[in-house]
Structure 1
Amino acid sequence: MEISSGQYENNISGFVMIDCEVRSADVFYFSLSEDETQLAEWDEDDEDSWLRRRIVYFIRNLAPAERWGHIEFDHSYDFQLSVARQPREQLVGIEKDGNVYVVGGGTAEWEDSLGDWTNGGMRRGSIVKSRTIDGHVYMVGGGRTVGVRKDRNDAVPLMQQLPFDHDKDWQVAGFEDIDGFNASDIYCVGGKGDVWHFDGASWTQVDFPSTISLRSVCCAGDGNVYISGYGGTTFKGRGQTWRRLFEGQLTIPFNDMVWFDNRVWCTSEYGLWNISDEKLEAADVDSDVMACSGHLSTHDGLLLVAGNGGAACQQDGKWHKLF
């Protein structure tokens, strides 16, 4: 374990996992929310009843007593995490209502909110996912919301050409995930088979072969795009050519799909899987690593998996349990 009982108690105990992110092989971040099931009094319908949120950090190259710490927020929603590589390397945490908190490079601050589309901002709906593409953080959400953070207080909406009619589209369209090979080759997925491709200048709707609810996308190192939805049903393709790899039989869809070690890794709170040779198989990991299923992040030759059962990372073919 990379954490002492005291560090676990001070940083993680009483909270549930929302997201995780690898900044480097030595720096990891975790988005946590207070576990309401452990609270004596909490009313989700009370606007003045807030759960505490935390961004927990692990910095491996510090002294053991200093490796773990957190930033706590009393009046925030859950943070989706990504790391900006350009113009500076910083963690970018985005709440569903578009508030942005940035850590790194000597900075720990709130940036300008992404704002509402009707007032010249970005959001047509709640922000639900973010992803680093070509060094910049992209974010997606309801109403086919999509945009990119270019720099401090400089988030640019990208859906000017994306149609969305609330009366007709709100039940069938909208984005749950985004990934890209680069800034000129990006896929957004969600809704009922709602898939769009962005070439850096314009959008094209993909003629997707299914109307199932879509949840996750991975632009993989083998040059293919993997899109998954209801029950783990997964498709493989690119452009306008797609085929179903397998019909999912899982209870819930995948939260995350990433490319690592020449295969696609998939996870939900119920497990960790690989797509290899076009087959979905349970990942060949020990039970204490499987218990960490929930969310994935990869960078710098490392895979991080984190959930309510803990966190672990794989590096150089070996798994290390963090907590």
Structure 2
Amino acid sequence: MTRRLLEDMSVVAASVRYRDLAYLVLSDDGIDPGIGHSHIFSWDLQDDPDDPWGYAGATYWTTVDMAISRHPLQQMIAISPHGEARLFGSHDERDERIVAADGDPRARGHLRAVRTIGEHTFVAGMGRQVYRRDAVDRWVCLDRTIRPAVGETKGFEGIDGVHEEDVYAVGWDGEIWHWDGAAWRQQPGPTTHVLTGVRCGSDGQVHAWGRRGLIVTGRGADWRLLPQDPLVGDIRDMAWHDGDLYVATGSALYTLVDGMLQPVGFGDDVPTGFGRLSVSDGMLWSIGPKDIMAHEDGRWRRIA
């Protein structure tokens, strides 16, 4: 991708599949944000090291999140708030609708997050919705027992897990719910402020985040706040890479060291924006609307 392309378009989301293969969703800066659309690109060094960028199509809906699906094929998945899904990769391309016999986002509320945990892809959203993709175009609803009462506004903003029987979903009113593969249990969280995302480490430790520097950490029924300066702004993403927990806001990238945020240095090539993180195969991408930076083998380099 050239810098020229990013003059007219902005990166909405990106997911790294391998250190030499990734997928991105871009939006056109000249189109009204209220008009749903997404442009999908691939970045494939094996295909062409000198020009790795390829156009993979467009959608007529807005992408809210994306991930790398593993089952039954390894490919990118981008989702809309209303339940549309686009999958691309492994010589396959398809559109699906996230819907089950007892769950439909068009009736229940917007979807917010998609995350692959173990071999399956999970989706979460408003109304405490949770779906799991069990096969091609087959989605199973997992939230039957935790739906809000009539007139009650609740919802999940993020989902992640150590494995498929150790999953956490977080969201409105600081809610933290745990799925053990058979049942959901609400955990006693330390805040009533909305939690907008969650990330699980391989050691089982969980971090959730929100606005104005809000970070909570724990697991099971044991959670605590990690106080930060609210001036750092809204936290938008976290990712583990090379033993460090990276934390992105819209204006900076940090690592969490002894419970405190420490700014990341980029040398002379400092990105203008941040907000999303993706890690796979030993490579971390820091993604902003007009910048993509990669961290590998202890060094940063610019992708776009």
TM-score category, normalised to shorter length:
over 0.9
Are the counterparts in 1 of residues 20 and 44 from structure 2 also a CA contact under 8 Å? yes
- Per-residue CA deviations over 1:153-206 (Å, capped at 9, x if unaligned) read 0111110121312412x1xx2111111000010110110111100001100001
- 2:136 corresponding residue in structure 1: 152
**Letter aligned with residue 41 of structure 2:** V
Do residues 20 (structure 1) and 14 (structure 2) align?
A: yes
In structure 2, distance between residues paired with 1:219 and 1:43 = 32
- 2:66 corresponding residue in structure 1: 81
**Letter aligned with residue 18 of structure 2:** S
Please give the TM-score of this superposition, normalised by the length of structure 1.
0.87
Are the counterparts in 2 of residues 122 and 156 from structure 1 also a CA contact under 8 Å? no
Are the counterparts in 2 of residues 187 and 195 from structure 1 also a CA contact under 8 Å? yes
Do residues 71 (structure 1) and 53 (structure 2) align?
A: no
Do residues 165 (structure 1) and 149 (structure 2) align?
A: yes
**Letter aligned with residue 82 of structure 1:** A
Give 1:51 deviation, angstroms.
Answer: 4.8
- 1:121 corresponding residue in structure 2: 103
- Per-residue CA deviations over 1:17-61 (Å, capped at 9, x if unaligned) read 2111011111111111222xx45xx484xxxxx354111110012
Match of 1:246 among 227, 230, 233: 227
Change in CA separation of 1:205 and 1:27 when aligned onto 2, cut-off 3 Å: same
- Within 5 A, what are the aligned runs for 1:95-106? 95-106=80-91
Please give the TM-score of this superposition, normalised by the length of structure 2.
0.92
Change in CA separation of 1:289 and 1:139 when aligned onto 2, cut-off 3 Å: farther
Change in CA separation of 1:20 and 1:184 when aligned onto 2, cut-off 3 Å: same
Are the counterparts in 2 of residues 131 and 138 from structure 1 also a CA contact under 8 Å? yes
Gaps of 5+ in 2: none
Gaps of 5+ in 1: 45-49
Equivalent residues, number: 302
Q: Secondary structure at the match of 1:130?
A: strand
In structure 2, distance between residues paired with 1:127 and 1:184 = 22
Change in CA separation of 1:278 and 1:102 when aligned onto 2, cut-off 3 Å: same
Are the counterparts in 2 of residues 293 and 306 from structure 1 also a CA contact under 8 Å? yes
Of Structure 1 and Structure 2, the greater helix share is in 1
- Per-residue CA deviations over 1:118-162 (Å, capped at 9, x if unaligned) read x63342211111111102211111111111112210111110121
Are the counterparts in 2 of residues 130 and 140 from structure 1 also a CA contact under 8 Å? yes
Q: Secondary structure at the match of 2:42?
A: strand
Give 1:240 deviation, angstroms.
Answer: 0.6
In structure 2, distance between residues paired with 1:309 and 1:164 = 39
Are the counterparts in 2 of residues 312 and 321 from structure 1 also a CA contact under 8 Å? yes
Do residues 224 (structure 1) and 205 (structure 2) align?
A: yes
